[in-house]
Amino acid sequence: MSDQPNGMVPVPPGPLVLNLQYTKDLSFEVPGAPDIFLNLAENPRLDVALDVNARKLQEEHPVYEVVFQVRADAKLTDGRTAFIIELAYCGIFTVNVAADVLEAVLLVECPRLLFPFARNILADVTRDGGFPPVMLTPIDFVALWQSRRGQSSGLAPVANA
């Protein structure tokens, strides 16, 4: 029998646990408002940039902050900026995996869990800002990770990974 209340047996944490998620930074700008809305005949062209970073929060525990960053610039056909939105959406994760797969878990699996929430925030903010909602298509985080892996200005290294 267990010494735990109600006879519960303690279960060790799994290989990946999302402890907390939050918006670290959010910015939405409409530089040409209100005039931009008078001539808004078509949906703006959207340029999207993505990034993922991770850092260890506690030396003695496998706890990491993963930051999924999105920047979208919307331009009209005449070149004017319709809006700019920037979001840094974060998760605090406990990651109990082998060192050789830690980077992939932090920079692929963790942002994959954060993505639906960040996507929802982007859609809500742009819709509430007077534009059609920005609906990010699903992201191939494996390809993003692989394309950035060898670049010197790429993802921040994972501390103590």
Q: What are 49-59's pLDDT values in tens digits?
A: 999 999 999 89
pLDDT per residue as tens digits for the range 82-107: 999 999 999 999 999 999 999 999 99
- Cα–Cα distances (Å) from 147 to 34, 65, 66, 122, in that order, read 39, 21, 18, 24
pTM of the model: 0.83
Does 161 score more than 80 pLDDT? no
The residue extents of the domains of the chain are: 13-141
Sign of CA dihedral 119, 121, 124, 129: negative
Range 92-111 burial, b when 16+ CB lie within 10 A, else e: bbbbebeeeebbbbbbbbbb
- Report the top-level CATH class of 13-141: alpha beta
